[in-house]
Amino acid sequence: MKLSVLATKLEPMLRIMQCPVCASPFLCDGQSLRCTQNHCFDLSAKGYVNLAPSHVQSKEKYDQALFESRRQVFEDGFYTPVVSCIHSMLQNRFADQSFSLLDVGCGEGYYARELSKQLPNTKILGVDLSRDAIMAAARTASTANFLVANLKQLPIASSSIDLVLDVLTPADYTEFRRVLSPDGELIKVVPGNEYLKEVREAVSGHLRNDSYDNSQVVSHLEAQMQIIERKVIHHTMPLSPVQAKHFLKMTPMTFSISDEELALHSPAAITIHMEVLRCRAKS
Ligand SMILES: C[S@@+](CC[C@H](N)C(=O)[O-])C[C@H]1O[C@@H](n2cnc3c(N)ncnc32)[C@H](O)[C@@H]1O
Ligand SMILES: [Zn+2]
């Protein structure tokens, strides 16, 4: 992507962005984002900006192969009901108003990409600490913008975001509340206890726990935010051997398992069980 095209695409987002080092506002000179204290972050011709340049990318477990497998399973429609559920919550909340949406831990950008097709007036920004994720996200044509950034120190101005989206990603509620506008909301998607149960069963010998329970994650959320809507998605679908391979590769559950070991397994079906929790900050 030409830097001038990226600069133009980023221009409307500058108002809601800030320097991750000193929290000053950014200006864009066509080549880089520079804050008023002179911290400078170059635009990449690959279509993104790295606002966490000191993060050691070579140690990232969320790598290109994982995001390629995630892209495949998204493309095959396994997560369409999740994006439809998020979309309908957004429609109920914002109707036709334009609003700003920050997808934290956006991965290869599926939700940001799909929502920007369905909500063309929405300003959508996806951030992830993995450069491989953001490079994959920025490669696909989308009106959304993508940044390498840490969700614990968001390069986002206070009170500037109407909706924070967090799908299967760690949360920092203090930081989320800082960036949310006074009546802003969070949509957090967490795995249900049967999420990818066929993968869990296949590799159970390598896992510390052979079952998953989201109650701790939800209790932590409830201590920080008020849940105002809760929907469950639960479906099981058959898998081809190629799709099975991608499901084994796309989850952090199999981070420590070699490709040779993964090749011994081929689940015939997959269960997508997730809870979509719409929340507002506790007053
Ligand atoms: C399981 S993936 C989910 C990705 C995406 N939301 C999806 O559903 O496909 C978790 C993501 O969180 C990102 N992540 C983890 N810690 C992060 C942090 N401190 N700041 C930003 N992203 C982070 C990872 O790089 C990874 O892309
Ligand atoms: Zn600065």
Q: Structural domain of residue 254, as residue ranges?
A: 50-281
234 located within any domain: yes
136 located within any domain: yes
> What torsion, rounded to 10 degrees, do the Cα atoms 198, 231, 107, 219 define?
-90
261 located within any domain: yes
> pTM value?
0.97
- Give residue-wise pLDDT tens across range 93-110: 999 899 999 999 999 999
32 located within any domain: no
For ligand 1, is residue 62 a contact (CB within 6 Å)?
yes
Q: What pLDDT does 215 receive?
A: 95
Low pLDDT (below 50) residues in the chain: none
For ligand 1, is residue 152 a contact (CB within 6 Å)?
yes
145 located within any domain: yes
17 located within any domain: no
User: Residue 86, Cβ neighbours under 10 Å: how many?
Assistant: 24
- The secondary structure of residue 171, as a DSSP letter, is -
Q: What pLDDT does 283 receive?
A: 75
Atom of ligand 1 nearest to the CA of 166: 6
For ligand 1, is residue 151 a contact (CB within 6 Å)?
yes
Q: What pLDDT does 141 receive?
A: 85
Q: What pLDDT does 74 receive?
A: 98
CATH number of the domain where residue 214 is located: 3.40.50.150
Query: Burial of 111 by CB count in 10 Å (0-12 exposed, 13-18 middle, 19+ buried)?
Result: buried
Q: What pLDDT does 107 receive?
A: 97
Residue 280 makes CB contacts below 8 A (sequence gap 6+) with 183, 184, 185, 186, 225, 226, 228
18 located within any domain: no
Q: What pLDDT does 210 receive?
A: 82
Write the residue with the smallest CA distance to atom 25 of ligand 1: 130
Tokens 């840490």 locate to: 150
Q: What pLDDT does 96 receive?
A: 85
- Give residue-wise pLDDT tens across range 139-189: 998 899 999 999 999 999 999 999 999 999 999 999 999 999 999 999 999
5 located within any domain: no
Number of domains in the chain: 1
Q: What pLDDT does 159 receive?
A: 98
Query: Burial of 266 by CB count in 10 Å (0-12 exposed, 13-18 middle, 19+ buried)?
Result: middle
